[in-house]
Amino acid sequence: MDMTMETCREFVKVLSSDAPAPGGGGAAALVGAIGTALGNMVGSLTVGKKKYADVQDEILALKARCDELQKKLLDQVEADEVNFLPLAKAYGIPKDDPNRDKIMEEATIIACSTPMAIMELCCEAIDCIAVFAAKGSRLAVSDAGCGAVCCKAALQAASLNVFINTKSLKNRETAEAMNAKANEMLKKYCAIADEIFTTVKAGFGQ
């Protein structure tokens, strides 16, 4: 079921239930899409303005990129459900089943794939928002700051959905490779998002 086709109220209602999905991954994807859209809004309020004519081409290119990022992030809401359900089912396999460990391992790696993708998309979005915040309309710069905060939250939330799964992997080489990649993204892009927030806030004398 594609929860992005439901109302916001229905999404939150199902999110709060005991349904296996959407969960943290789906929520992270939605928040990431919202953050990306906030940055994109700054772009929309910038194009066509004489004051920003010198950056219009760059802003238009960023908007096109963010249009695609928004779509991809929303697509991850359903993808997270699809890729998590095999793991949810695998937990129900009897522990004395000789195939259980292999099935669990494969399902866990699949379950990691979507939150990793969400993290990568959020990193791209933060890069875009940094430009919107620096070059976009000053009247909407607060929205760029809000977008950075949302994308950072989505990035962090998605990482937890990676780490909870890599912890149980038997193949520690695979687990540590995914952990390292996730931690690298966190270190770099949380700092960028924080810088955007701090700069925007400082612009208001705060």
Return averaged pLDDT per consecutive 10 residues of the chain, 206 residues in all. 89 93 94 98 97 98 98 97 92 94 96 98 98 98 98 98 96 97 98 98 97
Mean pLDDT of the chain: 96
Vertex 194 angle, CA 188 and 195, to 5°: 90
Domains in the chain, please, with CATH? 22-84+100-202 (1.20.120.680)
Model-level pTM? 0.95
Give pLDDT, residue 131: 98
Give pLDDT, residue 98: 94
Angle between helices 141-166 and 100-135 (to 10 degrees): 160
Give pLDDT, residue 162: 98
At 126-162, the pLDDT tens digits run 999 999 999 999 999 999 999 999 999 999 999 999 9
Length of the chain: 206
The half-sphere exposure of 142 on its side-chain side, counting CA atoms within 13 A, is 4
Give pLDDT, residue 1: 67
Give pLDDT, residue 41: 98
Give pLDDT, residue 97: 95
CB contact at 8 A, 96 and 20: no
What whole-number distance in Å separates Cα of residue 115 and Cα of residue 29? 8
Instruction: Return the percent helix, strand and coil in the chain, to nearest 5.
Output: 80, 0, 20
Give pLDDT, residue 82: 94
Tracing tokens 């924080």 back to the chain, one arrives at 194
